[in-house]
A and B are shown apart, each in its own frame.
Chain A
Amino acid sequence: MKIRSLKNLANAHHDSIWAATWAPATADRGALLITGSVDESVKIWKGDELELERTNTGHALGVVSVAAHPSGSMAASTSLDSFVRVFDVDTNATITTLETSPSEAWLMQFDPKGDFLAVAGGGSGSVKLWNTNNWRIETPLTIPNAEANDVRPTERHSGSGKFVLAVAWSNDGKRLACSTMNGVVAIFDAVRGKFLHTLEGHSMPVRSMAFSPIDTRVLFTVSDDKHIHMYDVESRSLISAFSGHASWVLSVDVSPDGSCLATGSSDRTVRLWDLNMRAAVQTMSDHNDQVWSVAFRPPGGDGVRVGRLASVSDDRSVSLYEYT
């Protein structure tokens, strides 16, 4: 289990890069890396050389999040103006534009089957589920008020605590997790559209989450409290906690084989954690500013044996690593 730096592309965008994801390989091409930046553009990159495939414009204010459909041909991007643009990865044709004003759109994720796009609904305290067939919105999954505004006393603005920041689908598509500014992690039964419970442990914003691809019960959360938590979402128990980052942990992704964890942090590093040893095994310092997103390339595509990990940062660069 290790990663090795392949390439650091400086000035990949004109400004800070806040979002990254991989569009899976399709029949015609390999996987593509999609990045979103404060410069209001979304860029698509190809291959190990990070060759620029296309630049998508059209967003106003910074691009906060990008998500790719499991088919690989469709992706979504959203910016601080809270419009979600769904587009064709290969042609850049706009498929639809989604808006759920007045609630913000924050991080997004397609469910593993590709039937839904879950959008963290910011101040609405809910997750918006869009049906990808007709682009109609399902009943939003709302965190009950009692949970969202629980006793955590530190919020300066009323109601801001339940600002939903991130969403994550379990690999079987049955569970959906969402996380908030005050550290609440809520688990939903995605099939029945029901709130189940919350997970205890964080009291600061949880900006990113990821389910294990090999164990649908296991959820990883990262927080401004510098910690990475590993939960059993069914028993609601904290299995393990990892510490080592010197500042906020902004992003987490699990390797496709489920044995490793990559995290990106405000401390400018990317760390690789071995889940068997439950310890950090590598610290990469390719970036010199906050690392906003890390993403493992999904398996698939021709002749792709070794894995890839990408990271993007406020320093405007994109880094690519080989994962073996």
Chain B
Amino acid sequence: MAFVYIPVQNSSEEVRVALDQLPRDATDILDILKAEQAPLNLWLTFAREYFKQGKINEFLLILREGSSPEIDEYYSDVKYDRIAILNALGAYYTNLGKVEQKQREKDEHFISATQFYNRASRIDQDEPTTWVGKGQLLLAKGDLDQSYEVFKIVLDGQPDNVPAVLGQACVQFNRGRFQEALNLYKRALQVHPRCPASVRLGLGLCRYRLGQMKKARQAFERVLKLDPENVEALVALGVMNINTNEPDGVREGLESMKAAYEIYPYCAMALNHLANHFFFTGQHYIVDQLMDAALAATDQSKIKAVSYYNLARSYHTKSDYTNAAVYYRASISELKDPREFILPYYGLGQVHLKLGDLRTSLSHFEKVLEIHPDNCETVKAIGIIYLQQGRTDKALENFKKATKQNPRDVDAWVELGELLVSTDFGQALEAFKTAHALLTKSEEPIPFGLLNNIGVLHFERSEMESALQAYRDALGEGIWVDFSEGRALSLGREGGLPISITAENSQFEHLEEEGLSLELPAEKVTVLFNLARLHEQQHETQKAVILYQLIIHKHPQYVDAYMRLAAMALARNDLASSQELVSKVLKVMETHADALSMRGSLELKADDWLKAKETYKSIQNTDGKDSYALLALGNWNYYAAVRGERKDPKLEATHLEKAKELYNKVLVQKPNNMYAANGIGIVLAEKGIFDLSKEVFTQVQEAAAGNVTVEMPDVWINLAHIYLAQGQFALAIKMYQNCLRRFYYNTESQVLLYLARTHYEAEQWQDCKRALLRAIHLAPSNYTLRFDAAIAMQKFSTATLQKPKRTADEVRQSVAELKNALRLFSQLSGVAASHGHGFDEKKIDMHVEYCKHLLDAAKVHLEAAEREEQQNRQKQEVARQLHQAEEARRKAEEERKQQMEKRFREEEARRLQREEEKLRHLMAGWNTKKGGGDNDDDDNGGEKKEKKEKKKRKKKEKKREQSSEPEEEGNYRSPTPEEEDAQDALAAAGLLEESDEEDMRREDPPPKKGRLRRALSESDDEDGSRRRRAVADEHLADSEAEMEYPKGLEDSDTEEQRPVSRRRGKKTRLSESDED
């Protein structure tokens, strides 16, 4: 036990004061000191002792008293002790200022400190300790340069003044000049080898900062040897150990921290590190306790910041974002500059992101980025914020940056890929593949979501093999492998009944009974669905069906599988199954928009118009935003407009308007909906505004061509219709042919019919016939096609026979074609009689008669032509002989040339001339002879035939009229949306949110047998109109052409003129041949 002895004045006695038993009230001591006039150093001793015991007030009381003016006066000669007291006070206030947070108080403390030092200097301005104190004050104020100078003053006088050396060392350390600081610490040690351990601590810290880890460690260890309980050294060593990042090191480091904690539970730094450790081991409650302790123990703002951060982080991981935000903010408020400690900013950014406060979040992340512009995580976080704000461009930019900064960041690649999906499949795929490659390289498991995305993108790009691989990788092992590879397509007890599209598949139950696992984890259903879609796309329908059925078997609520099966059944024309499947969906989900749409199109297909309309309307009612239903209703109105059952122009116009309105509505919702645009084009075309509609169609065609997942043959056909209507036959033909080949594998007889129609308009009869023959071959039961083919052949013959000049071959060909036409007509007549295909027997018979008649006429033509041909041959023969004779003569002449005289030659020439004249005469004779024959008509039977002919002509003209009517109507195939398609797959994969628009395909207009018959029974004319009606009929357009196509009518008007006059010429010819 230490004692202080106060000498009693004027005696040799002393008062003994035990240091650990200082009176609580310092006034007692002061009284003694004053009374005994004790030496000043004793005053200081007591003050120090109180300080050490944390009794700051007592400390201050003694020193204040000790530095009071009376003392100054009384002890005026005891300079050194007076200075020491003042310096002690100075040092105290310096320290107060140093730790004070608030600027005003801080300044006040520093001012007090300065005053004490100044007083000390007034007593003795050379006292080194005062200078050292001043230096430390400056150091605390952060005025490093001045501080350095002050210490220098001391050192200039006393080069070995250890405190000054240490002060300078400290300055240098704070200046970041660790080498200089190190040298100074070394000097201090040399001068004073028994320096307190803290000097060695400084040494160690310098070395640490200089990266001399080994020596730093030695220094710290030496400190600990000298002072085993030196907390700083323990913490420093601990930090060093933890930073080695090796398990052993970390453990040792934590040991050090724990030791430090045990020695001095208030060392906030150690607490922070420990908290950090417990945070990562997940013992959050310990973290909380430690941090509470740390916060109580320290005033160091930086350390407090760390403590608050640790607390916040602890709440953060517990998903208590509100509290986390509070503590992150507390942490930040401890900091003067984000540079000091950036993590809470990042944390706060994350928390706000979680809380949905994007703007605040963004501002915090941006602060992080200011200081660490290359921080990949932050760049990514900002990217996500932009994404949530819908600023896709900026988000994209950020993720691109992130991947550039850290090309090995899998998450960044995945995010980038997902961002790109909506705009650029190729780049998105690249991003996903990069992520895939990175994961593969590091041998990490690849999430099946990523594989699924890769698969979907390959699928979209029609890279089916790669897509298949990706899906299979994503799915892993399971029963589906067998299904997908086609090993087990027919299962069950019966030894191989194929799975049916609709049946409740007991096969699966059998399989399960047989002990086969059909386990299908919920998260893999989507991938499996995608795989099925892929097989479907590959036309491997059996595989697709079994996979869809498996999905339904295990997850009956997955209605998309039902929908696909229904679509597949529809594609196979299996309407009953399709209906059954759709009903199943609707039983589960009454308002499922896709299922209702499908039901609507099925009803249309079954010709149940009113029901279909009701169905579409019900979709509208349940889901006002379903653009598919809008579109379908638009189509419905269009069909209704051109359906022509009620030939009420007003009604038709109303329907067209309604259709247009609905299409426009779709376009407002989805400006990129090609089907609605196509619809608008159709309405425009129906109104005869061809230029505009052509523009619309062209744009739609371009848009469709740019999208690999969309197939829109309709728009090609519509464009071709426009070309046809405008008389650009070559273009129309090209367009129809391309469309046939590109979309239909040349199997669509309907388009062939359009093609034939175009050839017909272009008067290319043979091409027309060939197109029709193909169409018949594809659709042999469509008798209209046969009728059309017969008409084409009849037309060909008529046209050929009308030609002013034609060879016998041509006539022979037209005779052959007439025979074919006759054959077809006769057959049709027979069919009409026995089966009633909607043909009027009488009319066909009329055709038969006409063909027979024409055939008779043609026979005469043929004879004439053959005769003519014969004559021509003879003529040619004569000419040839003449030529030969002449040749021979010339040769002879040449032989005799030398002998013959000029005169003789002249004579010869004359003779030749005579000869030629004779020939000419002969030829003229032939001509007159022929003409004479024509004139030789007797009027006897002529009149009768004339009459007949007239009748025929009348009929023909009527036919012309009729036929010109329906001519121009385009039959715009209208877009009928199909069910969800590939988009579904995407949607299912979570890649797209809305997916209905692009995924629609046309469907054939519904059957209209009723109308066909009607149209035919209404027309009381013959061939042309029938034929055209037939064409028109398929398109629901009817003879209202004038109404729909003013321009078309114009065209047909002029058209009408031409053939009429031509026919007149033909009439004479026909009567001619009749008479012949």
Stretch at the interface among B197-205, B330-338, B346-354, B771-779: B771-779
Stretch at the interface among B184-192, B232-240, B833-841: B833-841
Please determine whether B836 and A123 come into contact, CB atoms closer than 8 angstroms: no
Interface string of B824-837 (1 = CB under 8 A from A): 10111111011111
Stretch at the interface among A21-29, A110-118, A149-157: A149-157
Interface string of B520-549 (1 = CB under 8 A from A): 000000000000000000111111000000
B574 partner residues in chain A, CB cutoff 8 A: 203, 225
Interface: A238 (CB within 8 A): yes
Chain B residue with Cβ nearest A160? B781
Stretch at the interface among A58-66, A188-196, A303-311: A58-66
Q: How far is the CB of A57 from chain B (nearest CB, A)?
A: 12
Interface: A80 (CB within 8 A): yes
Stretch at the interface among A133-141, A170-178, A242-250: A242-250
A103 partner residues in chain B, CB cutoff 8 A: 831
B residues 94-129 near A (Cβ < 8 Å) are: none
Please determine whether B834 and A163 come into contact, CB atoms closer than 8 angstroms: no
A residues 219-257 near B (Cβ < 8 Å) are: 224-227, 237-248
Interface string of B555-576 (1 = CB under 8 A from A): 0000000000000000111111
| Complex CA distance for A64 and B498, rounded to whole angstroms | 33
Question: Which of B575, B834, B1009 has a CB less than 8 Å from the CB of A102?
Answer: B834
Question: Which of B572, B607, B782, B1007 has a CB less than 8 Å from the CB of A203?
Answer: B572
| Complex CA distance for A293 and B542, rounded to whole angstroms | 24
Please determine whether A163 and B827 come into contact, CB atoms closer than 8 angstroms: no
Point out which of B540, B543, B836 has the most chain A C-beta atoms below 10 A from its C-beta.
B540
Point out which of B486, B540, B571, B777 has the most chain A C-beta atoms below 10 A from its C-beta.
B777
A60 partner residues in chain B, CB cutoff 8 A: 816, 819-820, 823
Question: Which of B777, B820, B833 has a CB less than 8 Å from the CB of A81?
Answer: B820
Please determine whether B774 and A38 come into contact, CB atoms closer than 8 angstroms: yes
Please determine whether B838 and A245 come into contact, CB atoms closer than 8 angstroms: no
Please determine whether B783 and A18 come into contact, CB atoms closer than 8 angstroms: no
Interface: A322 (CB within 8 A): no
Interface: B747 (CB within 8 A): yes
Please determine whether A242 and B780 come into contact, CB atoms closer than 8 angstroms: no
Stretch at the interface among B284-292, B489-497, B511-519: B489-497
Chain B residue with Cβ nearest A226? B539
| Complex CA distance for A11 and B572, rounded to whole angstroms | 34
Question: Which of A62, A226, A238 has a CB less than 8 Å from the CB of B541?
Answer: A226
Interface: B605 (CB within 8 A): yes
Interface: A183 (CB within 8 A): yes
Please determine whether B781 and A163 come into contact, CB atoms closer than 8 angstroms: yes
A residues 117-143 near B (Cβ < 8 Å) are: 122-124
Please determine whether B746 and A289 come into contact, CB atoms closer than 8 angstroms: yes
Please determine whether B780 and A104 come into contact, CB atoms closer than 8 angstroms: yes
Q: How far is the CB of A96 from chain B (nearest CB, A)?
A: 18
Chain B residue with Cβ nearest A124? B834
Q: How far is the CB of A46 from chain B (nearest CB, A)?
A: 27
A124 partner residues in chain B, CB cutoff 8 A: 834
Interface: B251 (CB within 8 A): no
Interface string of A197-220 (1 = CB under 8 A from B): 000001110000000000000000
Please determine whether A156 and B1007 come into contact, CB atoms closer than 8 angstroms: yes
Interface: B1008 (CB within 8 A): yes
Question: Which of A61, A225, A239 has a CB less than 8 Å from the CB of B571?
Answer: A225
Given A158-B836, A204-B573, A244-B538, residue A104 in contact with residue B770 (CB < 8 A): no
Interface: A316 (CB within 8 A): no
B residues 474-511 near A (Cβ < 8 Å) are: 486, 489-490, 496-498
Point out which of A153, A204, A279 has the most chain B C-beta atoms below 10 A from its C-beta.
A153
Interface: A72 (CB within 8 A): no
Given A203-B575, A240-B490, residue A163 in contact with residue B774 (CB < 8 A): no
Interface: B1012 (CB within 8 A): yes
| Complex CA distance for A237 and B490, rounded to whole angstroms | 13
Interface: A15 (CB within 8 A): yes
| Complex CA distance for A159 and B540, rounded to whole angstroms | 33
Point out which of B490, B573, B746 has the most chain A C-beta atoms below 10 A from its C-beta.
B573
Interface string of B771-801 (1 = CB under 8 A from A): 0011011011111100000000000000000
Question: Which of A62, A123, A154, A202 has a CB less than 8 Å from the CB of B575?
Answer: A154
Please determine whether A80 and B606 come into contact, CB atoms closer than 8 angstroms: no
Interface: B745 (CB within 8 A): yes
Interface string of A287-303 (1 = CB under 8 A from B): 00110000000000000
Please determine whether B605 and A279 come into contact, CB atoms closer than 8 angstroms: no
Q: How far is the CB of B481 from chain A (nearest CB, A)?
A: 15
Please determine whether A246 and B1007 come into contact, CB atoms closer than 8 angstroms: no
Please determine whether A62 and B777 come into contact, CB atoms closer than 8 angstroms: yes
Interface: A35 (CB within 8 A): no
Given A61-B773, A160-B837, A204-B573, residue A154 in contact with residue B540 (CB < 8 A): no
Please determine whether B1012 and A157 come into contact, CB atoms closer than 8 angstroms: yes
Please determine whether B572 and A227 come into contact, CB atoms closer than 8 angstroms: yes
Q: How far is the CB of A40 from chain B (nearest CB, A)?
A: 10
Please determine whether A61 and B575 come into contact, CB atoms closer than 8 angstroms: no
Interface: A16 (CB within 8 A): yes
B residues 557-615 near A (Cβ < 8 Å) are: 571-576, 605-607
Please determine whether B575 and A244 come into contact, CB atoms closer than 8 angstroms: no
Interface: A320 (CB within 8 A): no
Please determine whether A154 and B1007 come into contact, CB atoms closer than 8 angstroms: yes
Interface: A314 (CB within 8 A): yes
B776 partner residues in chain A, CB cutoff 8 A: 80
Given A160-B781, A203-B575, residue A237 in contact with residue B745 (CB < 8 A): no
B residues 910-947 near A (Cβ < 8 Å) are: none
Interface: A264 (CB within 8 A): no
A224 partner residues in chain B, CB cutoff 8 A: 747
Q: How far is the CB of A171 from chain B (nearest CB, A)?
A: 22
Q: How far is the CB of B496 from chain A (nearest CB, A)?
A: 7
Chain A residue with Cβ nearest B574? A203
A263 partner residues in chain B, CB cutoff 8 A: none
| Complex CA distance for A174 and B884, rounded to whole angstroms | 73
Interface: A89 (CB within 8 A): no
A244 partner residues in chain B, CB cutoff 8 A: 538-540
Please determine whether B1012 and A248 come into contact, CB atoms closer than 8 angstroms: no
Please determine whether B745 and A247 come into contact, CB atoms closer than 8 angstroms: yes
Chain A residue with Cβ nearest B831? A102
| Complex CA distance for A18 and B773, rounded to whole angstroms | 12
Chain B residue with Cβ nearest A239? B496
Question: Which of B747, B770, B831 has a CB less than 8 Å from the CB of A38?
Answer: B770
Interface: A179 (CB within 8 A): no
B784 partner residues in chain A, CB cutoff 8 A: 157
B543 partner residues in chain A, CB cutoff 8 A: 243
Please determine whether A102 and B571 come into contact, CB atoms closer than 8 angstroms: no
Please determine whether A243 and B541 come into contact, CB atoms closer than 8 angstroms: yes
B835 partner residues in chain A, CB cutoff 8 A: 123, 159
Interface: A77 (CB within 8 A): no
Please determine whether B777 and A18 come into contact, CB atoms closer than 8 angstroms: yes
Please determine whether A123 and B781 come into contact, CB atoms closer than 8 angstroms: yes
Chain B residue with Cβ nearest A151? B576
Given A154-B605, A244-B540, A245-B539, residue A101 in contact with residue B745 (CB < 8 A): no
A residues 247-284 near B (Cβ < 8 Å) are: 247-248, 266-268, 278-279
10 closest cross-chain pairs (CB), A and B:
A102-B830, A160-B781, A163-B781, A203-B573, A243-B541, A156-B1007, A247-B745, A225-B572, A266-B745, A181-B781
Apart from A154-B605, A183-B573, A204-B573, list 9 A-B contacts with CB within 8 A: A18-B777, A38-B777, A153-B606, A156-B782, A181-B781, A226-B539, A241-B542, A243-B541, A244-B538
What are 25 residue pairs bridging A and B, where the CB atoms are less than 8 Å apart in the complex?
A16-B774, A18-B777, A61-B820, A62-B777, A80-B777, A81-B823, A82-B827, A103-B831, A123-B783, A124-B834, A154-B575, A154-B1007, A156-B1008, A156-B1009, A157-B837, A157-B1012, A158-B837, A161-B781, A163-B780, A181-B779, A183-B573, A225-B571, A238-B497, A266-B745, A278-B490
| B contact set with A: CB distance below 8 Å | 486, 489-490, 496-498, 538-543, 571-576, 605-607, 744-747, 770, 773-774, 776-777, 779-784, 816, 819-820, 823-824, 826-831, 833-838, 1007-1009, 1012
